[in-house]
Chains A and B, each alone.
Chain A
Amino acid sequence: MRGNADAQELIAPGSLDAVLNLMANEPGTWTPIAGGTELMVAHAAGNLGAKKLVSLWGIKDLRHVEAQKASVTIGAGATFMDLRQTRVIGEDFPLLSTAASWIGSIANQSRATLGGNLVNGSPAADSSPALFAYDAEVELISVRGRRRIAYAEFHTGYKQNKLAADELLFAIHLPRRFGGHKQYLRKVGTRRAMAIAKVALGATVRIEGGAMREVRLGAASLAPFPTRLYRTEAALEGRALTAETICQARQALLEEARPIDDIRSTAEYRKRVAANLLEEFLRECRTGVEER
């Protein structure tokens, strides 16, 4: 244990308004901490730069899952266990439910939050590929009001995002329009549980008249931040599912992906496996097999 609890300030104002006021009055000073599954690891390693933390844990306005007619809203403070246990997520957004079950362990899932996963912004974030595949929107909140942006635009660089200094991630919105889509999610880690993704691919597509429409591909660990694979999507949009298309899509992915060599894996491995996952998805679409 290399962190010093005595050198850390941690407060829990208890309400969303109180937290937002604090962040407005002292922008950039207070780092929000939700379930702590990232920040407490950094603290234990002696690497927690932030000395002032404000706790979001237990704020009811942040921890909820609500279904409306056309969309589902997930509070940023919802834990992955909340997602696994919420029926509408399992029914309408099975990839997200699956991703939630792949986070760490049961003990991690009961504390790690969807919002924390996104704001931490690791390129290997487990929830991101599914959120890209589902065209998620994120809602940001401050004393100045709320705004929504496409999740696809949220990450801007390595551990950088569009949150202003006084903003919190408030909610994630998912459109309920994927019932007729083919869906795919696969994560490749160092082992079956408790593994950071070496690479992961999430995908949805609507097959219409033998052609692929509204292709959405989200990847982990192919770039400095979670990414949509726009060029690969473009290579598939409107195309029929032929061997040639699969080959070209693989090519597009190999060119678009920018993974690195790091302590967990190599760039070449990540690229090739990502291409294999894409092919697996496309073949499944062809044979009508949906589940992975």
Chain B
Amino acid sequence: MSTQWVAIQMQVNGERREVRVPPMKRLLDVLREDLHLTGTKEGCGEGECGSCSVQMNGELVNSCLVPVLQAADTAIETVEGLAHDGKLNPLQEAFLRCGGAQCGICTPGMLMAATHLLERNPQPSVAEIREGLAGNLCRCTGFIRIFESVVAAAAESRTREAPHAG
């Protein structure tokens, strides 16, 4: 028995998109298969590794655990929306400079989690960074240079925002 497919509208990285899919299809699969945005990855399918992290209406979610019906009429942000006109954003630049990405498979989710953190807490302590990224597993880096990348991005934004401050 095949379920009735539904039309779902979402805003994805600022663009209106519409798909026709089973309501229970995972948001992760809709992004990758229907919208061809393969930047978001599946590492575990159980909400443990965070490789599938995206922002949904400004909240960080594991897209492998979101049935697309519940993402209807929401604004989704994925890794593909971070760079502007092909230029890396400051967080991405920091990751590149500090070695925050090795094999790169956790990187999209890690960048979304870091983006979410910095949007709420522009100058996080290392403890706050650890907590903010605790749901994103990285097997390559041991996390150290990921923390450094986020610290560097935060420092850079502080300089940009207050260039004349002491």
Contact = CB atoms under 8 A, between A and B. Distances in A.
Contact of B134 (A7, A44, A106): A106
Given A8-B3, A8-B22, A110-B60, A105 B66 contact: no
B29 to A, nearest CB: 8
A45 B46 contact: yes
Nearest to B71: A57
Contact of B53 (A11, A107, A193): A107
A35 B61 CA distance: 10
Given A36-B70, A40-B66, A81 B59 contact: yes
B3 A107 contact: no
A106 B135 contact: yes
A240 to B, nearest CB: 38
Given A105-B134, A106-B113, A111-B61, A5 B46 contact: no
Given A110-B59, A193-B134, A40 B22 contact: no
Contacts of A101: 131
A33 B70 CA distance: 10
B24 A104 contact: no
A5 B66 contact: no
Given A8-B22, A10-B69, A40-B64, A194 B134 contact: yes
Interface in A87-110: 101, 104-108, 110
A98 B35 CA distance: 38
Contacts, number: 114
B48 to A, nearest CB: 6
A55 B135 contact: no
Contacts of A261: none
B45 interface: yes
Interface residues of B, number: 37
A157 interface: no
A6 B2 contact: yes
A105 B22 contact: no
A178 B132 CA distance: 30
Interface string B25-41: 11001000000000000
Give the interface centre of A107, A193, A194 by most chain B CB atoms within 10 Å.
Answer: A107
A1 B45 contact: yes
A37 interface: yes
Nearest to B58: A110
Interface in B1-30: 1-4, 21-26, 29
Interface of A: 1, 3, 5-12, 33, 35-37, 40-41, 43-45, 53, 55, 57-58, 81, 101, 104-108, 110-111, 192-194
Interface of B: 1-4, 21-26, 29, 42, 45-48, 50, 53, 59-62, 64-67, 69-70, 72, 113, 116-117, 131-132, 134-136
Given A9-B3, A40-B66, A43-B24, 11 more contacts: A5-B23, A6-B2, A8-B23, A40-B67, A44-B46, A107-B53, A107-B60, A107-B62, A108-B47, A111-B66, A194-B135
